[in-house]
Copies of this chain bind each other. A is one copy, B any other.
Amino acid sequence: VATIKDVSVQAQVSIKTVSRVVNGSAEVSEATRQRVLQVISDLGYRPSLLAKSLVTGKTNTVGVVIPHTAAYVFAHLYFNQVLRGIGEVLEQHRLDLLLHLGRKDMNYAELYHQQRVDGLILLAIPLDDPLHHELLDGRVPAVFTCRVRENDNPTNWVDSDAAGGIEQVVDHLQSLGHREIGFLSGPDNLVLARLQREGFRHALRASGLQLNPEWVRIGEYSFESGRRLAIDVMGFDRRPTALVCGDDMTAVGAIRGVQSLGNQVPTDVSITGFDDVVLAGYTVPALTTVRQDGYQKGRIAAETLIEIMNGSGPDPPRQIVLATELIVRDSSGLVPNCQENRL
């Protein structure tokens, strides 16, 4: 492969001059420029961005870290939305995206220290992740698309108001007359799941409803887990009239589970989701859910990171809570046999 040196020799100019015409910088006489350009094309010379990065310290690449398996990541349409938001912004800034999945064993900050990326966007980080301090205290340019700890941290993040979102659905269900409400939650090591459960408890308490611990189950945000949990809960003597789910896949699974037991949704049980992934509008019955704007989340995260990389990052760190929106479709309905329904 031809190097800058080969070009300089062939074109009879100094290395620096070649560098100049390649980078379009400084003034180079038109004659030399043309000659160099000619040689470059003759030799098929390609500047090595690698070498350039080594000296400039810039890679023009943003790392996106999702510490879950590829199977998990691409099965959850939520990530799709966030990636789309990130992708659009990076595209616009002509930055590349280094996608780093799985391998929880590794310290993500490495990606930055190894000089493979100029900054990091981190998605769905588990609470028990051994996150290195430097990611939290701003030593590494990083933005999270989730709160990382329950207590606040001096780091940049954008997250949805998960607790508030759950409160929205619970209120909605209540207005339909439901007073016996269960919750199919996500894994305990995700802040999202904790916030949702907190929102759930809060909403119940606020309206004087009883929380039945038997009806609050921990799953893993998947179709299968939703199906199993729903069947479990509906197997008790005392059964809820509504099931709030921590994500849409869980909800779809729960619907199937409940149906397999011979119950109708929403006639017998109301079931709601969370995320509003593209699928939610198409299921039968179409899912009543809480929309969290993953796309916006991705965009904001990417934009914030770019500011940071340009040295104009927000101080103190930017911490944004995105509002959620209740999307009422067909999987929620009036509580069955309910006199006190006040709709």
**Residue contacts A-B, CB under 8 angstroms, 12 given:** A46-B110, A50-B54, A50-B59, A61-B98, A70-B86, A74-B84, A75-B84, A97-B100, A252-B282, A279-B282, A282-B283, A282-B284
Residues on B with C-beta less than 8 A from A43 are none
Q: Contact residues of A with B, CB < 8 Å?
A: 1, 46-51, 53-54, 59, 61, 69-71, 73-75, 77, 80-81, 83-84, 86-88, 90-91, 94, 96-103, 110, 113-116, 252, 278-279, 282-284
Shortest A32–chain B CB gap in Å is: 24
B74 touches A80 (CB 8 A): yes
Q: How far is the CB of A164 from chain B (nearest CB, A)?
A: 26
Interface contact A91-B70, CB-CB below 8 Å: yes
Please give the count of copies of this chain that the complex contains: 2
Chain B hits for A47, CB < 8 A: 114
B residues less than 8 Å from A69 (CB atoms):
88, 91
The residue from B53, B98, B100, B279 contacting A50, defined by CB atoms under 8 A apart: B53
User: Inside 8 A of A46's CB, which chain B residues have their CB?
Assistant: 110, 113-114
Complex Cα distance, B114 from A61, in Å, reads 13
A13–B98 alpha-carbon span in the complex (Å): 35
Contact A49 B116 (CB under 8 A): yes
Separation in Å of the A132 CB from the closest CB of chain B?
10
Chain B: CB-nearest residue to A249: B278
CA distance A81 to B73 in the complex (A): 11
Q: Write the nearest CB–CB distance from A5 to chain B, whole angstroms.
A: 15
Cβ contact of A99, chosen from B1, B53, B96, B252, cutoff 8 A: B96
A99/B99 in contact, CB under 8 A = yes
Is A50 in contact with B88, judged by CB distance below 8 angstroms? no
- Within the complex, what minimum Cβ distance (angstroms) separates A114 from chain B? 4
Q: Which residues of B contact A100 (CB under 8 A)?
A: 96-97
Question: How many whole Å from A336's CB to the nearest CB in chain B?
Answer: 23
Instruction: Point out the residues of chain B lying under 8 angstroms from A71, CB to CB.
Output: 84, 88
CB-CB under 8 A from A70, the residues of chain B are 83-84, 86-88, 90-91
Q: A50-B115, A69-B91, A74-B80 are in contact. List 7 more A-B contacts (CB 8 A).
A: A46-B114, A49-B116, A50-B53, A50-B54, A69-B88, A97-B100, A99-B99
* Bound complex: CA A88 to CA B283 (Å): 28
Q: Are B81 and A48 in contact (CB under 8 A)?
A: no
Give the residues in chain B near A54, CB-CB below 8 Å.
48, 50-51, 54
Query: CB-CB < 8 A to A103: which residues of B?
Result: 91, 94
Chain B residues whose C-beta falls within 8 Å of the C-beta of A97 in the assembled complex: 98-101
Min Cβ gap A74→B in Å is: 4
Would B114 and A48 count as touching, CB distance under 8 A? Answer: yes
Of chain B, the residue at the smallest CB distance from A111 is B96
